[in-house]
Amino acid sequence: MQELIRLLEQEGLDGLYLTRPENVRYLSGFSSPEDAQVYVSREGALLLTDGRYTVQAEEESRIPFKILTREERKAFFEGLEGRIGFEAEHLPYARLEELRELAPVEWVPTRGLVERLRIKKTPEEVRLIQKAQALADEAFRRILPLVSPGVKEVELALELEFYLRRHGAEATAFPIIVASGPRGAMPHGVASEKAIQEGEMVTVDFGARYKGYHSDLTRTFGVGRVDPEKKRLFDAVLLVLEEVLAQLAPGKPAKELDALARRVLEKEGLKAYFTHSLGHGVGLAVHEAPGLNAYTEEVLEPGMVVTVEPGVYLPGFAGVRVEELVLVTETGFELLSRLDRGWLEV
Ligand code: ZN
Ligand code: ZN
């Protein structure tokens, strides 16, 4: 909490009104952060929620909390003074207008303040991400025997989801991607009614949410014998992943890793088909800082948890992505998935 008060001083703020659910959860431990906010002042942080959550706030909140009726909420805002920060990337404009009416203070847009604190994970956070990843690994192992020509993408997605939920995940990290054959060329091809065919490649990208923390995993495999022209895409993507992992270490600028990935694909004649960034941080949000892309100034530090997920997508033909989740350590990195990432034909 000292860090937060230092942030207020640094930004010249008297208070900070936080609405982004991941940030609310991070600071309070409260598991319904969509229905709560955190107000930070020089005295400390306070969770604000309503009468539906009295028992839950009592049980979960690591910081003092207030249950506010509509009138009490109004009075709370009327009592504010000075310069109060809000989260410009999260607070809708209409909410800001309401706040301005309630509290005639100077509302100051802020960006990424709590996200900066979240960027390096504590050992406890790492433990929760590891648990979320272990669930995903096991779910993936469980669906492989179910893969055969004629099975629909959505059937595999349902099996994954059922396994995750059955074993303690709160939810999937995001809508599960199962993209087979030409659908593999859609990087975010959410599982459809399409039946998987012999000779196709299948990309599965999914994760679990466990106690608020996420995992993220992608594997691409073949169903029966896959045409060498398609398999070549897999080999190229795996080569990128191996080359990037060989360079991944604390002190490394994230944009250098992204550039390295593109150089390797350029040699393979596939650079134009890699249409997204190389990776992203994972934690309370499934996509968070640091981004591994061409535009970031982030440098990897021990405690960061990031994905490395090169992919190539050839419209009308096929697509491949392979994604690993890694913890940056003092000496290099630790893979959080225990799954093999080599070529697999099922
Ligand atoms: Zn993913
Ligand atoms: Zn990802």
DSSP string, 102-171: H--SEEEEE-SHHHHHHTS--HHHHHHHHHHHHHHHHHHHHHGGG--TT-BHHHHHHHHHHHHHHTT-SE
Contact by Cβ (8 Å): 305, 323: no
Distance 287 CA to ligand 1 centre (A): 9
Nearest alpha carbon to residue 138 among 163, 175, 162: 163
Q: What is the pLDDT of residue 1?
A: 75
- What is residue 337's predicted lDDT score, i.e. its pLDDT? 96
Separation of alpha carbons 303 and 125, rounded Å: 10
How many whole angstroms from 154 Cα to the centroid of ligand 1? 17
- Cα separation, 130 vs 64, in Å, equals 29
Both tokens of 187, joined, read 């990087």
**Cα of 226 from ligand 1 centre, angstroms:** 23
CA triplet 310, 162, 137: central angle to 5 degrees?
A: 40
Rounded Cα gap, residues 114 and 302, in angstroms:
18
Which ligand is in closest contact with the Cα of 308? Answer: 2
Joined together, the tokens standing for residue 259 give 């550039």
Cα 280 to ligand 2 centroid, rounded to whole Å: 6
pLDDT at position 306 is 98
The number of the ligand nearest the C-alpha atom of 218 reads 1
pLDDT for position 54: 97
How many A from CA of 278 to the centre of ligand 1? 11
Tokens, residue 121: 């994970």
Residue 331 Cα to ligand 2 middle (Å): 23
Element (H, E) at 252: none
Closest CA to 215 of 273, 151, 278, 133: 133
Q: How far is the CA of 34 from the centre of ligand 1 (A)?
A: 23
Q: For the chain, 346 residues long, give each residue's pLDDT as a single digit of tens.
A: 788 899 999 999 999 999 999 999 999 999 999 999 999 999 999 999 999 999 999 999 999 999 999 999 999 999 999 999 999 999 999 999 999 999 989 999 999 999 999 999 999 999 999 999 999 999 999 999 999 999 999 999 999 999 999 999 999 999 999 999 999 999 999 999 999 999 999 999 999 999 999 999 999 999 999 999 999 999 999 999 999 999 999 999 999 999 999 999 999 999 999 999 999 999 999 999 999 999 999 999 999 999 999 999 999 999 999 999 999 999 999 999 999 999 999 9
CA 205 to centroid of ligand 1, rounded, Å: 5
- 276 backbone dihedrals φ, ψ, rounded to 5°: -140, 180
Tokens for 221? 């495999």
Ligand 1 centre distance from Cα of residue 217 (Å): 5
Q: What is the signed CA dihedral for 171, 172, 173, 176, rounded to 10 degrees?
A: -160
* DSSP helix/strand/coil, 220: strand
Could you give the angle at the alpha carbon of 103 between the alpha carbons of 100 and 105, nearest 5°? 85
Cβ burial of 186 (10 Å; 0-12, 13-18, 19+) is middle
All structural domains of the chain: 2-118 (3.40.350.10), 123-335 (3.90.230.10)
| C-alpha separations of 153 from 189, 196, 207, 345 in Å | 10, 7, 16, 17
Tell me, what amino acid is at 336? L
Distance 224 CA to ligand 2 centre (A): 27
| Residue 188 DSSP label | T
